[in-house]
Amino acid sequence: MNMNMNTNNKLPAQLAIGVALLVLPLVLQLFGNAWVRIADMTLLYVLLAIGLNIVVGYAGLLDLGYVAFFAIGAYVYGLLNSPQLLETFAGLAAMYPQGLHTPIWVVLPLAAVVAGVFGILLGAPTLRLRGDYLAIVTLGFGEIIRVFLNNMDNPYNITNGPKGVSQIDPLNLFGLEFGKKLMIGDYKLASVSLYYYLFLALVLVSIVISHRLEVSRIGRAWMAIREDEIAAKAMGINTRNLKLAAFGMGATFGGVSGALFASFQGFISPESFTLMESVMIVAMVVLGGVGHLPGVVLGAVLLASLPEVLRYVAGPLQQMSGGRLDASILRQLLIALAMISVMLMRPRGLWPSPDHGKSLETAAKPA
């Protein structure tokens, strides 16, 4: 009875949030497409944070090289939907005279699979590592992938090195081209708004998948490993396979996000996948609440949108100082102060998972 009442009480709030998310790009579009682009990038970061939460939040494996899987997915999509490979390999150009335009139904699963395989390859040699040592190895993996992409322009120009891959096709779904505006009667729906709805749908699907993983036997086993790996192994849990599964599953989310990022931007280069990106994604998970899905989403939304919003705050502050303060440095300072303040006041994150003991006491109380 109580569960049904709680569900009924939450329904109006959930409907309100749903309507707000659907209307958001239409409202932001009135102020310019730049604001809708911020919302689009925020959703991509939410997708990345959900994937990293599987590794860091559920399994307790600190991964500082997560941006590598983001890069792998982006380059898989970019190379299969741009003239880059055709310009390098004449035989491939002869096979595809109309250009290489791989359907989304092929390239998106492929990006997820390739990123997942690399995730398992990363996890295999790090099974015995934990804590700081694991963080250092994963950090090195992320840098290796970036340097590798930066130098794959000789002797065969595959990634075009630091110049990046350009002329990447936008998404085409059921004949709907996301690179063009959509006319609905007299109303014009911008390309960035189309991407918003696609990203929102994928984020919702990812949230459902992540939640189902959390409450499944695999999710409970991941959490047992996170709390005490030795005890989990003593209870018969196959820690090796489950760690590899966590790395692989988290990497697939990164690969999908990367493919969407490449189609959205139309251009990718190794400079888009630096260590700072990995640190920001980890900060989103920690700031929101490690292992708690609503908190992770909240942390990703705040940290992805806050830097862009603060651009409009840093400018006036720079003018007040007579131009003595650089706007970009001031913006980073404001972000750092906000993060430090949150961590001091909310050490477990903005929306941490409820304590297990407290939840048991609440369940034991009579209705």
Q: What is the pLDDT of residue 112?
A: 96
Nearest-angstrom CA–CA distance, 349 and 299 = 8
Domain assignments of the chain as residue spans, ordered by start: 34-272
Q: pTM for the complete prediction?
A: 0.90
Q: What tokens does 220 get?
A: 């409970």
Residue 305 C-beta-side C-alpha neighbours within 13 Å: 16
- Mapped onto helix, strand or coil, the DSSP state of residue 167 is coil
State how far the alpha carbon of 359 is from the alpha carbons of 50, 223, 362, in Å. 24, 16, 5
Nearest-angstrom CA–CA distance, 290 and 42 = 19
Q: 239 Cβ partners below 8 Å, 6+ apart? A: 127, 225, 229, 232, 233
122-126, 346-350, 355-359: least confidently modelled range: 355-359
Q: What is the pLDDT of residue 365?
A: 54
- By the 10 Å C-beta count (0-12 exposed, 13-18 middle, 19+ buried), 123 is classed as buried
Other CB atoms within 10 Å distance of the CB of residue 313:
14
Q: What is the pLDDT of residues 232-283, one digit of tens each?
A: 999 999 999 999 999 999 999 999 999 999 999 999 999 999 988 999 999 9
Query: Checking DSSP bridges between strand 172-173 and strand 176-177, what pairing results, if any?
Result: antiparallel
Q: What is the mean pLDDT of residues 178-187?
A: 81
Q: Is the pLDDT of residue 361 over 50?
A: no
Q: Is the pLDDT of residue 190 over 70?
A: yes
Q: What is the pLDDT of residue 44?
A: 96
Q: What is the mean pLDDT of residues 143-160?
A: 91
Q: What tokens does 111 get?
A: 């990006």
Q: Which of 17 and 312 is assigned the larger pLDDT?
A: 17
Q: What is the mean pLDDT of residues 34-62?
A: 94
Q: What is the pLDDT of residues 56-93, one digit of tens each?
A: 999 999 899 999 999 999 999 999 999 999 988 888 88
- Mapped onto helix, strand or coil, the DSSP state of residue 195 is helix
Q: What is the pLDDT of residues 6-40, one digit of tens each?
A: 556 678 888 888 899 999 999 998 888 889 999 99
What integer best gives the mean pLDDT of the chain?
87
Q: What is the pLDDT of residue 99?
A: 85
State how far the alpha carbon of 34 is from the alpha carbons of 65, 259, 366, in Å. 29, 21, 52
Q: What is the mean pLDDT of residues 215-244?
A: 92
Give the helix ranges, DSSP H, for 190-292.
Answer: 191-215, 217-227, 229-234, 239-265, 275-288
Q: Is the pLDDT of residue 354 over 90?
A: no
Q: Is the pLDDT of residue 188 over 90?
A: no
Q: Is the pLDDT of residue 306 over 60?
A: yes
Band of the pLDDT at 4, cuts 50, 70, 90?
low
Q: Which of 325 and 47 is assigned the larger pLDDT?
A: 47
